[in-house]
Amino acid sequence: MQRMSISEVDGDAYKAVLGLQKYVNSGTVGVRLRAIVDIRASQINHCAWCLDMHVAEARGAGAPQRQIDLIAAWREAPAFFDDRERAALALTEQVTLISEQGVSDDVWAQVRAVFSEQETLELLMTIAAINVWNRMNVAVRADLPEQPVVSG
Alpha helices in the chain (DSSP H): 6-9, 11-25, 31-45, 48-60, 65-69, 83-96, 98-101, 105-114, 117-140
Structure confidence at residue 131 (pLDDT): 98
Other Cβ atoms within 10 Å of 69 Cβ, number = 12
Contact, 32 vs 58, CB < 8 A? yes
pLDDT tens column, 89-132 = 999 999 999 999 999 999 999 999 999 999 999 999 999 999 99
117-140 vs 105-114: helix axis angle to the nearest 10?
120
The pLDDT of residue 151 is above 70: no
Structure confidence at residue 57 (pLDDT): 96
As a whole number, mean pLDDT of residues 8-15 equals 94
The pLDDT of residue 73 is above 70: yes
For the chain, which domains are there?
30-140 (1.20.1290.10)
